[in-house]
Structure 1
Amino acid sequence: MTAQTCPRQHQRTTMEIASLEPSLYTVKAVFILDNDGDRLLSKYYDTELYPSMKEQKNFEKNVFNKTHKADTDEIAFVEGMTIVYKCSIDLFFYVVGSAQENELMLMAVLNCLFESLSQILRKNVERRCLLDNMDGVFLVVDEIIDGGDGVGSYWYTILCSLNDRPYRRVTRVILESDPQQVIQKVNYRADENPLSEQSVAQIMQSAKEQIKWSILK
């Protein structure tokens, strides 16, 4: 399936995006790739979308191949998913939603992610700096989608019960789309938080948990 760009994006203003309150809009996945299409960070919130690591990486590579040559940041439709993306130097940021998901809200998540990272990395949004501050990157992603306090999980458990749907199949609710609020909650600055042994351990633990859940599925 070929990617299709959406010219409507260019007609949307920051005010339109900001006017959307984060509520029950959902995200299926977020990932950051380098300029070779290799994964730097990836989180899949719909456990049945691409259950295995191989399927996820194949999807990411397909998305990258169909978007990385675009002249401007776009909205694309790949494999039945709505994808919004942004490029910065040698990084590509992607937010994935269903074909029916609100494109403005997906774009709000993408912009919030990028602006939040830009602030904690002091405008140096490139591969080396990102890798040196991965603990902060994980904190930002978790604060935007499903939140660091688990409130999103709580509300979605209720929604699942009302609709008689298993919790594990549900994508994650968007809790925050204001970069300033994210930065305030995360309280992380690149120059104050160099990648330490503890940070590496946290990243490794997060990776192990993702692998464990992938195996259990």
Structure 2
Amino acid sequence: MANLSLYTTTAFLLLDSDGDRVISKYYQPPHAANAPTGQQAGLQGPPQLSAKNPFPTVKEQKSFERAVWEKTRKSTGDILLYDSHLVLFRPSLDVTLYVIGPGDENPLMLSGLMSAIYDSISLLLRGQVEKRAILENLDLVTLAIDECVDDGIILETDSTAIASRVSRPRPDVTELQINEQTIMNAYSTLRDKVAQRILQS
């Protein structure tokens, strides 16, 4: 039976060149902790939701991150199956981005998510997808990830839309021109009135 759940993403990781965590987001369906598995509910077939979070503690998360980094740091591909998890990764200068999903998940869907996250971060950081730029703009990068995926559900894969929603508003140039024009108009009006008063007296 195919996996028909919307909860397609287990984790998003961003690790530096030493395998240390820069950003990590682990997802679990909000109702999965209380949901019975397929066999417990008396249903046939595999369960749709796992009642157990695969990485409940920080220690287990960091151990998984280290193992995944060791597996992928010399790999030439961009996808692998590790410990019943589908791991997609994309190195960039001194960081590596990871999208992790269940082993039976559609790799093309996770690949689309990876591309969306990478491209939106690249747009926000003007092509500098590196540790220093990410740390300096951590708020934007985190918001971009949250715009892409929430609680393990893929929300958006259009990188331009994500970047436009997340980016800081720029000062409005037309407003500055209007203000300058207003000041110039006020100065001209004042000058004309002063000249008229001088001519009248």
- TM-score, structure 1 length as denominator? 0.63
- Corresponding residue to 1:45 among 24, 27, 32: 27
> Which blocks of at least 5 consecutive residues in structure 1 are unaligned?
1-22, 147-170, 193-217
Cα separation, 2, equivalents of 1:142 and 1:188: 16
Structure number, greater radius of gyration? 2
- SS of match in other structure, 2:18: coil
Counterpart in the other structure of 1:144 = 148
Alpha-carbon distance change, 108 to 31 in structure 1, aligned in 2, over 3 angstroms: same
Amino acid at match of 1:27: T
Match of 2:68 among 40, 63, 67: 63
Task: Note the alpha carbon deviations across 1:60-109, whole angstroms, 9 max, x for none.
Answer: 0000000011234x111111100100000000000000011110010111
Q: How far does residue 25 in structure 1 lie from its aligned partner after superposition? A: 5.5
What count of residue pairs does the alignment treat as equivalent? 144
Q: Hey, what does 2:117 align to over in structure 1?
A: 113
Choose from 136, 155, 163 the match for 1:183. Answer: 163
Distance in 1 (alpha carbons) for counterparts of 2:85 and 2:112: 17
Q: What is the CA distance between 1:172 and its match in structure 2?
A: 1.9
Matched residue, 1:135: 139
d(CA) in 1 for partners of 2:133, 2:164: 20
Q: Which runs of 4+ in 1 moved over 6 A?
A: none
Relative to the length of structure 2, the TM-score reads 0.68
Higher RCO, Cα 8 Å, sep 6+: 1
Give the C-alpha shift of residue 127 in structure 1. Answer: 0.7
Structure 1 distance, partners of 2:7, 2:158, is 15
Q: Contact 1:25 / 1:105 at 8 angstroms: preserved in 2?
A: no
Gapped regions of structure 2 (runs ≥ 5): 29-51, 172-201
The structure that is helix-richer by fraction is 1
Q: Distance in 1 between matches of 2:117 and 2:96?
A: 12
Output the aligned Cα RMSD.
Answer: 1.9
